[in-house]
């Protein structure tokens, strides 16, 4: 029987297998409606729970945390990124934060490759022509895209996802260049034949494709602003499967509309669910609704990692995937 004195509250509907396992192990309150919590509902849940399982929809800032009360001891995030949680404020109140990293790296890297192919080979435009019923048949000069092989892929952020992307990029004949806070291990660079840039601004002019794979922090917010985008080739493509806030969306729109970039493929937007209509209407822009980790396998494994973090905490141990605060 689950311990009724140890309460777990989940803010969104998770895969059935994950919810069933949570119910076996804990006194858990699920969100069957799958409607994101309001701020008041979030505060109420935090006051009633020993562990809260939030997702990226839940903005847990210092104001919300100040109302959490004394019972909450762990935020077991369902997902890798924790930019929606004020980790420093949580730890200051004695609340641990854990995440579920590594699980979706391969799936997100796969999605990034898919988006590179889609935007460079003009899948959106081809699909639109077919669905419109106006296709007149094959033509030698119709819908000519750009060859992927032989191009230079610039990777911004050579963490788990960036490394997984580089591994796949080599198969497609791409030359891998990257910028990261620190160089990858020499063995990794050799294996991937990857060239390091100690400055983003030295990487940008080299890239035919720029893949954004870094986390969103105060330092990386709008790291691709108008100044950065202006350093890229007008034939270059931008692909973002990380966080929307990494790109100044207005600057990106301006560059695309005025022909200073060849195209963009975005799995995330700075505006969240408020989709930029101009980007939607541009033929050389592919938009997806944050599908990078959307495989059955990844979402199940993310849940298993969350459960492990909770169980270890319940047993008096440090969660294996604890997020360390900056202070």
Write out 68-100 in H/E/C secondary structure. Answer: CCCCCCEEECCCCCCCCECHHHHHHCCCEEECC
Q: Which position has the higher pLDDT, 104 or 59? A: 59
Residues 93 and 212 placed together within one structural domain of the fold:
no
Residues 132 and 186 placed together within one structural domain of the fold:
yes
Residues 139 and 201 placed together within one structural domain of the fold:
yes
Residue 4 has pLDDT above 80, yes or no: no
Residue 305 has pLDDT above 90, yes or no: yes
pTM, whole model, 2 decimals? 0.91
Q: Tokens in use for 121?
A: 């080979």
Number of independent structural domains in the chain: 2
Residues 139 and 46 placed together within one structural domain of the fold:
no
Over range 23-43, report the average pLDDT.
96
Pick the closest to residue 96 from 74, 122, 77 (CA basis). 74
State pLDDT tens for residues 185-232: 999 999 999 999 999 999 999 999 999 999 999 999 999 999 999 999
| Structural domain harbouring 90 | 3-103+295-314
- Facing residues of 152 across strands? 175
Residue 104: per-residue pLDDT: 79
Residues 161 and 308 placed together within one structural domain of the fold:
no
Report the distance separating Cα 289 and Cα 81, nearest Å.
16
Residue 1 has pLDDT above 60, yes or no: no
| Residue 193: count of CB within 10 angstroms of its CB | 11
Residue 301 has pLDDT above 70, yes or no: yes
- Facing residues of 285 across strands? 264
- The pLDDT > 70 percentage for the chain reads 99
212, 180 contact by CB (below 8 A):
no
Report the distance separating Cα 266 and Cα 14, nearest Å.
24
- 326 is a domain residue: no
Residues 36 and 141 placed together within one structural domain of the fold:
no
- 319 is a domain residue: no
Report the distance separating Cα 132 and Cα 126, nearest Å.
10
Residue 117 has pLDDT above 90, yes or no: yes
State pLDDT tens for residues 234-292: 999 999 999 999 999 999 999 999 999 999 999 999 887 889 999 999 999 999 999 99
The mean-pLDDT minimum among 26-40, 112-126, 233-247, 313-327 falls in 313-327
Residue 327: per-residue pLDDT: 62
Report the distance separating Cα 81 and Cα 101, nearest Å.
8
Residues 205 and 62 placed together within one structural domain of the fold:
no
Over range 55-77, report the average pLDDT.
96
- 254 is a domain residue: yes
Residues 92 and 138 placed together within one structural domain of the fold:
no
- 320 is a domain residue: no
Residues 83 and 167 placed together within one structural domain of the fold:
no
Residues 127 and 221 placed together within one structural domain of the fold:
yes
Residues 95 and 124 placed together within one structural domain of the fold:
no
- 91 is a domain residue: yes
Q: Where are the alpha helices (DSSP H) in 121-185?
A: 123-132, 160-171
Residues 131 and 177 placed together within one structural domain of the fold:
yes
Give the domain CATH number at 304: 3.40.50.720
């Amino acid at each position: 029987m689950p311990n009724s004195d140890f309460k777990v509250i989940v803010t969104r509907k998770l895969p059935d297998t994950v919810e069933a396992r949570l119910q076996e192990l804990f006194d858990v309150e699920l969100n069957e409606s799958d409607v994101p919590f309001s701020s008041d509902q979030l505060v109420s849940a935090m006051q009633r729970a020993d562990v809260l399982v939030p997702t990226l929809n839940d903005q847990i800032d210092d104001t919300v945390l100040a109302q959490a009360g004394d019972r909450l001891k762990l935020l077991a995030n369902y997902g890798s990124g924790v930019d929606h949680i004020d980790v420093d404020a949580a730890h200051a109140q004695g609340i641990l934060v854990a995440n579920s990293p590594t699980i979706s790296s391969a799936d997100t890297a796969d999605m990034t490759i898919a988006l590179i192919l889609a935007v460079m080979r003009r899948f959106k435009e081809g699909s639109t022509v077919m669905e419109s019923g106006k296709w007149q048949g094959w033509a030698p000069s119709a819908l000519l895209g750009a060859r992927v092989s032989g191009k230079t892929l610039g990777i911004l952020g050579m963490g788990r996802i960036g490394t997984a992307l580089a591994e796949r990029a080599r198969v497609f004949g791409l030359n891998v260049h990257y910028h990261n806070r620190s160089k990858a291990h020499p063995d990794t660079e050799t294996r991937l034949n990857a060239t390091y840039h100690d400055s983003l601004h030295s990487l940008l002019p080299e890239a035919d494709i720029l893949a954004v794979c870094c986390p969103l922090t105060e330092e990386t917010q709008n790291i691709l602003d108008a100044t950065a985008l202006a350093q890229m080739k007008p034939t270059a493509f931008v692909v973002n499967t990380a966080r929307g806030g990494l790109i100044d969306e207005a600057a990106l729109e301006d560059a695309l509309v005025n022909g200073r970039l060849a195209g963009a493929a975005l799995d995330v937007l700075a505006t969240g669910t408020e989709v930029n209509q101009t980007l939607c209407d541009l033929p050389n822009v592919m938009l997806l609704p944050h599908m990078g980790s959307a495989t059955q396998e990844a979402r199940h494994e993310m849940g298993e990692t969350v459960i492990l973090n909770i169980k270890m905490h319940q047993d008096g141990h440090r969660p294996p995937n604890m997020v360390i605060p900056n202070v």
